[in-house]
Structure 1
Amino acid sequence: MSSVLNTVDQRTNLVGENRLELLLFSLNSRQTFAINVFKVKEVIKVPVLTKMPGAHHNIIGVASLRGVSVPVIDLRSAIGFPYSDYGESEQNLIVTEYNRSVQGFLVGQVKHIINTAWTEIQPPPRTAGRANYLTAITQIKNVDPPELVEIIDVEKVLAEIIHYDVSISQEVLDEELVREMHGRKVLIVDDSSTARNQVRDTLSQLGLEIIECRDGREALNLLKRWSDEGRKVTDELLLLITDAEMPEMDGYRLTYEIRQDERLKDLHVTLNTSLSGSFNESMVKKVGCDRFISKFQPDMLVEVAQDRLRELLTKS
């Protein structure tokens, strides 16, 4: 345990193209769950918690970490598991940063970190239904039998606790551009249905038609199929907005593949992710994204769409 707790902070700084590291943990069950190490700030023993009257029922209190108040979410309860009292030696706090907010997740045993490739990450079975709290699954193959690892859709967990406002500030809107938006198409690519909903609910207010894909592979296949049919993708789409972390093909690889295809290379690509800014700024330059914005900022999404349309209208 101590080796995991002592090395998480350093390992979050590792950068690997189309690779990720997963922090594995239990929720007082036989199943193994995981989240991306890039989003983990630290793992600690659970400190003294202060109760918050009127807080969401999945928020069990607030921890004071170096003078900062951090809400603590019971992750087991948040994903729909029945209540289970962790033994004091079994519970840990995973402190994370998502969408520019810091929160802690109460979990059971923190196991270890595995290094894997996005190609080894698969979406959950469609038969799992829309109500599941998984964004992907993978396997640890060097054990007998292979161990299934379920990757939590943290954005969905947070969206059910924190209200995300999709309203657009009036001062951001350019009414002349908005009139030109109607009927234009935007492709959004994200493995989290919650994240796709947030982007869709924001941009559809402009009259944009939203097309959705669950991962980079699905999006690339769609774009190539359109091109094979003789359709000009840059005429079909105003822009593409993609997450960075996705099973089968991440947003960086998707952008790289788009830039390598003569039929697609001029497609405007915006990276929309909850990962750290410094990491993404270097990757954006490396693979050729046009813009990078952190989740979830409705006004910024609108500005990206308006800037792209303004650029097209200026050229025409």
Structure 2
Amino acid sequence: MSGILDSVNQRTQLVGQNRLELLLFKLNSRQRFGINVFKVREVLQCPPLTSMPKLNALVRGVAHIRGQTISVIDLSMATGGKPIEDLKTAFIIIAEYNRSVQGFLVGSVERIINTNWDAIMPPPQGTGRASYLTAVTEVENELIEILDVEKILNEISPLNTEVSEGFSADIDKEKNKDKIIFIADDSSVARNQVKKALTALGMEIEAAKNGLEALNRLKELAAETGDVTDKVGVLVSDIEMPEMDGYTLTAEIKNTPELEKLHVVLHTSLSGVFNQAMVKKVGADDFIAKFHPDELANAVQKWFGND
């Protein structure tokens, strides 16, 4: 087990090439789940947890780790399952999402696998847990489920999605009246958050569920005039998405003549640890860490119609 924990801490810088590494874990059953290693700070055996008043029912307590107090969320309970009972044998995955650090209580941690985003598929429809899944993949003939952590966190502590009262949209509506803001994000919660924040700009918004779907739709729009910027003002894209990640999507856009002038804002929960060199390498115009409505709206406004 110590080898797995050391590996997590040493391999969190993997980005690009449409590749990713998944840390596999279990909750209360044989079903395996995965989390992107790039979001993981460390993995440790569950330390003593301190109960505090008025904690959300899904938060089992707080842990004091390396001088920081971290809320510990029971991932089994958060996805509709039974609580993880034996804390002495359980583990905590310390991860960073949306500018904050959380601990996720899991039953066991197994190993890290190396895979490609094109092997990560949207979740199947009609399964009971589907609303908490953002993607699935197959490893050794077994289905691995990837949880929509942003949905879980939003249920525990909903984010503000409205821009501040002092925000003033500064877009030439007449010049851009026929253009849209395009969003690519695999999390339904994240898509809705972005839509609500960007409605303040007064523009039409269209969304795709992953990078491949976004690329195909952008090519369709470009085919109408020969240049996608005649139809789309800016693309706001997540980085982690099934089938094609945001880095690869950006690179494809910048290497396709009818798409290359499109401004791309990468918008991701990989806050604090993202690879700035990779953002520049693929040609993205901006990077915004999730989730601050004013920052996002200002970033989109800056690039909208800025040829």
Fold shared, TM-score > 0.5 on shorter chain: yes
Shift of 1:85: 1.6
- Structure 1 stretches lacking a partner, 5+ long: none
For the residues of structure 2 that align with 1:131 and 1:120, how far apart are their CA atoms? Answer: 18
Greater share of helix? 1
1:97 aligns with 2:96: yes
The more displaced of 25-34 and 2-11 is 2-11
1:287 aligns with 2:282: yes
Query: Contact 2:132/2:147 (CA < 8 Å) preserved in 1?
Result: yes
1:206 corresponding residue in structure 2: 201
Write out per-residue CA displacement over residues 147-205 of structure 1, whole angstroms, 9 at most, x where no aligned residue.
1100111111101011200121234424x538667764111001111111110011113
For the residues of structure 1 that align with 2:210 and 2:305, how far apart are their CA atoms? Answer: 28
1:86 corresponding residue in structure 2: 86
Shift of 1:50: 1.0
The alignment yields a C-alpha RMSD, in angstroms, of 2.0
1:116 corresponding residue in structure 2: 115
Equivalences for 1:1-80 in 2 at 5 Å? 1-80=1-80
For the residues of structure 1 that align with 2:107 and 2:117, how far apart are their CA atoms? Answer: 26
Q: Alignment partner of 2:162: what SS?
A: coil
For the residues of structure 1 that align with 2:56 and 2:263, how far apart are their CA atoms? Answer: 40
1:177 aligns with 2:145: no
Q: Alignment partner of 1:205: what SS?
A: helix
Query: Contact 2:16/2:278 (CA < 8 Å) preserved in 1?
Result: no
- Provide closer, same or farther for how the CA distance between residues 15 and 194 of structure 1 changes in structure 2, counting only shifts above 3 A: same
Query: Contact 1:182/1:207 (CA < 8 Å) preserved in 2?
Result: no
For the residues of structure 2 that align with 1:290 and 1:268, how far apart are their CA atoms? Answer: 6
For the residues of structure 1 that align with 2:275 and 2:253, how far apart are their CA atoms? Answer: 18
Q: Alignment partner of 1:220: what SS?
A: helix
For the residues of structure 2 that align with 1:251 and 1:41, how far apart are their CA atoms? Answer: 22
Size of the aligned set, in residue pairs, is 306
1:138 corresponding residue in structure 2: 137
* TM-score computed with the length of structure 2 as normaliser: 0.93
Q: Percent identity?
A: 52
Shift of 1:310: 6.3
2:151 corresponding residue in structure 1: 156
**Partner amino acid, structure 1, of 2:275:** N
Query: Contact 2:46/2:87 (CA < 8 Å) preserved in 1?
Result: no
For the residues of structure 2 that align with 1:130 and 1:214, how far apart are their CA atoms? Answer: 18
* TM-score computed with the length of structure 1 as normaliser: 0.91
- Provide closer, same or farther for how the CA distance between residues 133 and 178 of structure 1 changes in structure 2, counting only shifts above 3 A: farther
Shift of 1:263: 0.8
Equivalences for 1:132-281 in 2 at 5 Å? 132-141=131-140, 146-174=141-169, 176-177=170-171, 184-230=179-225, 232-277=227-272, 279-281=274-276
Q: Alignment partner of 2:156: what SS?
A: coil
1:311 corresponding residue in structure 2: 306
Query: Contact 1:34/1:152 (CA < 8 Å) preserved in 2?
Result: yes
Shift of 1:296: 0.6
Shift of 1:93: 0.6
For the residues of structure 2 that align with 1:86 and 1:305, how far apart are their CA atoms? Answer: 47
Query: Contact 2:99/2:272 (CA < 8 Å) preserved in 1?
Result: no
